[in-house]
Structure 1
Amino acid sequence: MTAFMPDDTFLQRGLAAGMSATSGFHSSKPSPVSPDLAGKNILPQSVVPSPTDRIEFKTAKGPPVKTSPICIGAWPWGDKGTWHWTEDELPNVKAAWKYLYESGINFIDTAAVYGDGRSEEIVGELVRGLPRDSVVVQTKWLGLPTAAENYVHPVDAPVIECKKSLARLGLDYVDVYMVHGPIHPQSIKNVAKGLAKLVDQGLARAVAVANYDTADVKKMEAALAEHGVPLAAQQVEYNVLRRLPETTGQIAECRQRGIVFQTYSSLAQGRLSGKYSADNPPPKTYRFSKYDMKDVEPTLQVLRGIAQKRGKSVASVSLNWVVSEGGLPLVGIRNEQQAKDAVEALGWRLTEEEVDQCILMCSKCVIRPTVHKGEAS
């Protein structure tokens, strides 16, 4: 690992130590979520996103960034530490992307830290040759407190790292540039200045944050506003098992402010896909939304029942639950079947009763992080 580019075991070392993607460390004990939250964030039944529908991200200049209602998470591409990537998987990824793109999905999320930058290179390969305005690329700046440039260039560090990402992507600009988490040693005001520079220089169309608590989302929004730049999105861990953004009111806050609410680990790293069970658990490196599968089984039974009744896959039902709650889910894709499951999650809606059924059942197996700062999300 270098000070500027962590290797692909960096996240694993932190997660193995119990680090949360939010603030604090994960508890090993389940904590139920109040059933009173059922129905609080459900979108009107008239809202039925299809793969060709578009969600708008606010920009400071020009038209909004328009994305599909599902985003393809590119963390697995090139990442050996968590996802055990091998280069012979690349043809499957290319076939999956072809299916997704032809189905109307136009949004890919990556990051400098994924696979030592290999993920960004693969994304660049996939979008090369396509009309630039037909795809939306989002990448992230980690802002490690161990990186010297965050002290030497507290404002320009995001600009410096974005240019490196653009070189790996082979692009002139990214559609969305995101702060990967609130670990940066710079003040939010200095980070906001750097993000505003990116927009001013045409290196990013929109800017966003990830893993911020609600208070810091508001601070970043205000700091960016001083430069005439809107905060376009917030990305956090959220699924039917992990509902902290809901219990803290962050979903409602983002909706009120016109900030797109993105979700990662939307399938709990496969735990909500129907692929895994108590007898066939996911790999130990899949540490986000980490639960003993026997504790997840009650929720999976509900999801399987809904999937069977509707003729959908369990993964599609799980993703539709996030969409129904107002989230824009990221989902990792490594093959064409997973791509089909993602597309199948759109064009229909769970009923409010089905959404609530999942919520009430999973209240027995939710694990919440121990929060040390504010209200982590």
Structure 2
Amino acid sequence: MMYLAKEARYQDMTYRRVGHSGLKLPAISLGLWHNFGDVDQLSNQREILHGAFDMGITHFDLANNYGPPAGSAEINFGRILREDFQSYRDEMIISSKAGYYMWPGPYGEWGSKKNIVASCDQSLKRMGLDYVDIFYHHRPDYDTPLRETAQALDLLVRQGKALYVGVSNYDAERTKEIAQIFKELGTPFIIHQPNYNMFDRWIEDGLLTVLEEEQLGAIVFSPLAQGMLTNRYLNGIPADSRAHRSDSPFLSEDKVEATLKIVKELNKVAENRNQTLAEMALGWNLRQPAIASVLVGASRLSQLQDNVKALAKLSFEDEELAAIETILNQN
């Protein structure tokens, strides 16, 4: 049966401007880092993407190395795009990135012009696209001149392969430096993609100031700290959870248990706001004016539907923010 998007899909979504650009992103965007590789069921991927678009989530964030295996998320997304979303392409923001390891030899990763241009061409081919809306340099490369990386991203725009460019995982100083180069080149550099959540607030130590000064926006990943800022672990660690698996590099049972006391107290604040902890955590991220959107992942559509409920209450009382700070500052 052919997919037809819901007519009222834009009714309840909030859209926020990215810095001082003309681009608006949905306050909640869908990241395809996990759950869209060849190891995942295509029918479930399709259900999540359909449901996301029906809720007004227009932004789909990918990278060349997403999967597993690397590249497979772009291939699967491209297939569903071609079969189900072809007539909706102009309503979508699709992003990809280059920088992490993709192929053997000296050109298969980092930030050289050779790597970035080849990576973008490969990503476009995998997705069956003429262009992406945003193309990022995925991580800083301290061995390649910053100007070369900037010129490579600028070239992609001039070639019509990307509408806007961004960086990810750059610190404040390097972000300011590359922003100056992009100004000289006249490149539409509009966005930074850092990680940010209640447990990892590094962007507050300078980066947010740089974003404001350079009139850039941010879209943050890991807003729920790999699931620690949800109700998933409040009553113990489920056997099917990512924390329980020994192969998870970002999450472990020890890490979860170390934060459990704080998480339970944060959950009480959320309950007093008539929200789940995840809803409050997403809203807490979006309280920052520079943050246009939060990137969430989903292994099933119901998770995404729950996350979107955060948009019903984005404002915080001063007392609530103070209570959250007190809880987070516990040793």
**Aligned mate of 2:50, from 63, 76, 98:** 98
**Aligned mate of 2:294, from 310, 329, 334:** 329
Contact 2:30–2:61 under 8 Å retained in 1 = yes
Q: Deviations over 1:37-86 (max 9, x none)?
A: xxxxxxxxxxxxx6242423666xxxx3332112211110345xxxxx73
Query: CA shift at 1:277, angstroms?
Result: 4.2
Structure with more of its chain in helix, by fraction: 2
Give secondary structure in 1 for the equivalent of 2:260: helix
Query: CA shift at 1:150, angstroms?
Result: 6.9
Once residues 297 and 105 of structure 1 are traced to their aligned partners in structure 2, the CA distance between those partners, rounded to angstroms, is 31
Gaps of 5+ in 1: 1-49, 80-84, 366-377
Give secondary structure in 2 for the equivalent of 1:280: coil
Instruction: Name 1:133's counterpart in structure 2.
Output: 90
1:149 aligns with 2:107: yes
> What letter corresponds to residue 297 of structure 1 in structure 2?
L
Once residues 154 and 255 of structure 1 are traced to their aligned partners in structure 2, the CA distance between those partners, rounded to angstroms, is 28
Instruction: Name 1:314's counterpart in structure 2.
Output: 277
Instruction: Name 1:174's counterpart in structure 2.
Output: 132
Structure with higher RCO (Cα < 8 A, 6+ apart) = 1
Once residues 295 and 355 of structure 1 are traced to their aligned partners in structure 2, the CA distance between those partners, rounded to angstroms, is 22
Once residues 353 and 171 of structure 1 are traced to their aligned partners in structure 2, the CA distance between those partners, rounded to angstroms, is 48
User: Percent of pairs identical after alignment?
Assistant: 27
Counterparts of 1:6-155 in structure 2, within 5 Å, are 51-56=13-18, 64-79=22-37, 86-88=39-41, 90-115=42-67, 116-128=70-82, 129-142=86-99, 144=101, 147-149=105-107, 154-155=112-113
Counterparts of 1:226-237 in structure 2, within 5 Å, are 226-237=184-195
Once residues 312 and 192 of structure 2 are traced to their aligned partners in structure 1, the CA distance between those partners, rounded to angstroms, is 24
1:304 aligns with 2:267: yes
Instruction: Name 1:224's counterpart in structure 2.
Output: 182
Question: What's the Cα RMSD here?
Answer: 2.6
Instruction: Name 1:33's counterpart in structure 2.
Output: none
Give secondary structure in 2 for the equivalent of 1:237: coil
Give secondary structure in 2 for the equivalent of 1:322: helix
Give secondary structure in 1 for the equivalent of 2:225: coil
TM-score, normalisation: structure 1: 0.74
- Deviating runs (4+, > 4 A) in structure 1? 143-147
**Aligned mate of 1:211, from 130, 149, 169:** 169
Give secondary structure in 2 for the equivalent of 1:67: strand
Contact 1:144–1:183 under 8 Å retained in 2 = no
> What letter corresponds to residue 343 of structure 1 in structure 2?
V
1:341 aligns with 2:306: yes
Instruction: Name 2:8's counterpart in structure 1.
Output: none
TM-score, normalisation: structure 2: 0.83
Once residues 272 and 222 of structure 1 are traced to their aligned partners in structure 2, the CA distance between those partners, rounded to angstroms, is 36
Counterparts of 1:219-368 in structure 2, within 5 Å, are 219-246=177-204, 248-277=205-234, 279-280=236-237, 282=243, 283-288=245-250, 292-326=255-289, 327=291, 328-351=293-316, 352-364=318-330
